[in-house]
Amino acid sequence: MSIFHLAIPSHDLSLSKAFYTQVFEAKIGREYPHYVVFNFYGHQLVCHLAPEDVSKELKMYPRHFGRIFEKKEDFDALYERAKKVQTPFFEESFERFPGKTGWHYSFFLVDPSNNLIEIKHYVNEVDIFS
């Protein structure tokens, strides 16, 4: 497997560390005064201290990232964990395109620096890239 790398802005690295370790159970790798590296489901997520790049306005498009779960139970478990630790939601769990190509479940979380994270589960795996 190739490992995906994503870098996002953070206005406060301490808050970012707490968020990604509590909500996603991400492990912290390297840590410096200006950035933190996380193991985010086997991929490299880096939060860079960049308060000037943190969006004040919350909007889904054009920028968000996330995770697609193969199993609905894993999707549901993360949803429940996010609720339990009182994670801010941009959008609660919903169903998109029921019975059609692309049918999936989704919800959006908001990290402390207003980065939106979309969590998905596709009913039919073949629809992920179709």
The one-character DSSP state at 5 is: E
pLDDT of amino acid 72: 97
The one-character DSSP state at 102 is: T
pLDDT of amino acid 107: 98
Q: Please tell me the distance from the alpha carbon of residue 32 to that of residue 11, in angstroms, as a whole number.
A: 14
pLDDT of amino acid 50: 94
pLDDT of amino acid 61: 85
Domain boundaries, the chain: 5-128
Please give the average pLDDT of every successive group of 10 residues along the chain, which has 130 residues. 92 97 96 97 96 88 92 98 96 96 97 96 94
pLDDT of amino acid 118: 97
SS3 26: coil
Residue type (1 letter), 22: Q
Whole-prediction pTM value?
0.91
- Which CATH homologous superfamily contains domain 5-128? 2,3-Dihydroxybiphenyl 1,2-Dioxygenase, domain 1 (3.10.180.10)
